[in-house]
Structure 1
Amino acid sequence: MIILDGKKVSNDIKNEIAEHVKSMVSKGEKVPHLAAILVGTDGASMTYVNAKVKACERIGFHSTLIDLPADTSEKELLENIKNLNADDNIDGFIVQLPLPNHIDEQNVLMAVHPDKDVDGFHPTNVGKMALDLPTFLPATPYGILELLERYQVETSGKHVVVMGRSHIVGRPMSILMSQKRKAGDATVTVVHSRTKNLQEITKTADIIVAAIGISEFLKGDMVKDGVVIIDVGITRVPDPSKANGYRLAGDVDFESVSKKASYITPVPGGVGPMTIAMLLKNTLLARERRLL
């Protein structure tokens, strides 16, 4: 069993981007500038955004954080997005999800200009992705593809089961894995909360991407020997033995599934770091497009 070490691969990618940025600086080019909007004080969101800011500092990007209170109106948020769309100093930006309940998430995602949508969530970019046209790929699926490629995991002709149908991970993952690409050419099945005979389907999978948001849902008796496991989930599970009172768990029961897996991502340290690395890669792409 081989651990798909997202932390190591993401560091490799950051180092590659940092070298590219040094080259840009030596040519007198403006370095990439990533902005992030954070609404409220959700602990996980604050952690993710701070990690993104630190990653920008490490590789030589400029970064801007717009920190808004939880009671910010949708109108105020859209005004901030409008300003970032118009700011030529900003190459790409993200609006950290989830948003407070009083804000319509879809309205917000639609307001981000597709050319600056480095999260890859705008319908224009999702449509281009579906048609296999050049665009910003959603960061988490993009990171999974990169992880599979760098570990040379064979995907061509394999049966991939994607657990979950979210717009952020499940649905784009199913599209990308079926396309003609290095980490692709797979036969894909999407399963979700309404799927019948779920275990029968997962036991036929050569590769499973678990993104359903239920901690340790996928058990060892649900997979076959030699399966490749990509665990996207991350949940805080109460654990009195820990100083902070919890541990982080994925959607996969690592203890039982890892005994059968040929490759598996850990939680934490698997998909999470890759998401940030690919966001940076998308921002670099946005900057290069603006230089054309």
Structure 2
Amino acid sequence: MGQIIKGKPVADAISTVLTKEVEELKAKGITPKLTIVRVGANGSDLAYERGALKRCASIGIDTEVKELPENIEQDDFIAELKKVNEDKATNGILIFRPFPKQLDESVIKYIIAPEKDVDCFSPVNVAKLMEKDETGFAPCTPSAVIEILKHYNVPMKGKNAVVIGRSMVVGKPVSMLLLNENATVTICHSRTQDMPSVTSKADIVIVGIGKAKMIDSKYIGDEAVVIDVGINVDEKGNLCGDADTDSCIEKASMITPVPAGVGSVTTSILAKHVVKACKLQNNLV
């Protein structure tokens, strides 16, 4: 029987360090600020926003929410985004996606200022992730996966890591982050043949395929570490992950729960990126 590894201790450890860093910045007359740009009032966006605002407040980071109408036209959205880009007080920008159909992500991603793009929306930051350029910003959720592995002393160097899912939200970026930690990385997806034969050989399994409780014990090797990034609602209306925790824990050495796992670390990573952006913009790194 494996161990449930929760996100809160990881988030709290990150926040403790950040609080001290923000105090040091404020002593220099600098206060980091995050501006959230949200179109409409999607429930999951609002839930994440509440968590982000609470986390930033506890660390001492200023925040502002720019709520734009659901039916905003693209030119108007771009004009508002440019205002945030040019706002000298704003160090980090978080834009909620997906957008309503009238907004074209493939255009807007080139508008956000890369140095303020704290969740890797800009292609500039995607490229920096690929090149292991430390001045860039990786997406917050994949970064949270790596922080959890480090916090619980899970070795990555030379280990076999399998990532289930190939999205730009989790799968591809977390694969690059694992590669940067010198893991040997395999990506599985919906077209992978006999997936359990691949995943059951892994030391680390990152699950982000978007299907509730799809991954059970047959996908997991003895003593593997499972990080579940999925967020779904089961038939009883409860939140659950992409991994069937009760089944996987019979073989895994460690597994993150849903809720209270990766998601609870993500807002701390967001705050960490805002502080990093602030330092870079003030030539303090």
Same fold (TM over 0.5): yes
Partner letter of residue 8 of structure 1? P
Q: 1:137 Cα shift?
A: 1.6
* Preserved contact between residue 52 and residue 276 of structure 1 (Cα < 8 Å): yes
Query: Residue 267 of structure 2 corresponds to which residue in structure 1?
Result: 276
- 1:19 and 2:16 aligned: no
What stretches of structure 2 of length at least 5 have no aligned partner? none
- Write out aligned runs for 1:198-277 (5 A): 198-239=195-236, 246-277=237-268
* Preserved contact between residue 38 and residue 49 of structure 1 (Cα < 8 Å): no
- Write out aligned runs for 1:98-177 (5 A): 98-134=98-134, 135-177=136-178
* Preserved contact between residue 11 and residue 268 of structure 2 (Cα < 8 Å): yes
Partner letter of residue 94 of structure 1? L
What stretches of structure 1 of length at least 5 have no aligned partner? 240-245
Partner letter of residue 242 of structure 2? D
Superposed CA deviations along residues 120-167 of structure 1, whole A, max 9, x for unmatched, are: 221111111111111212111111111111111011211111011111
CA distance in 2, matches of 1:170, 1:249: 19
CA distance in 1, matches of 2:97, 2:235: 23
**Further displaced range: 210-219 or 134-143:** 134-143
Q: 1:42 Cα shift?
A: 1.2
Partner letter of residue 177 of structure 1? L
Q: 1:15 Cα shift?
A: 2.0
Query: Residue 243 of structure 1 corresponds to which residue in structure 2?
Result: none
Q: 1:24 Cα shift?
A: 2.0
How many residues get paired? 281
- 1:192 and 2:193 aligned: no
SS, match of residue 212 in structure 1: coil
TM-score, normalized by length of structure 2?
0.95
**RMSD in angstroms over aligned alpha carbons?**
1.2
Query: Residue 9 of structure 1 corresponds to which residue in structure 2?
Result: 10
* Preserved contact between residue 230 and residue 264 of structure 1 (Cα < 8 Å): yes
Q: Percent of pairs identical after alignment?
A: 35
Partner letter of residue 233 of structure 1? G
Q: 1:271 Cα shift?
A: 0.6
**Further displaced range: 155-164 or 97-106:** 97-106
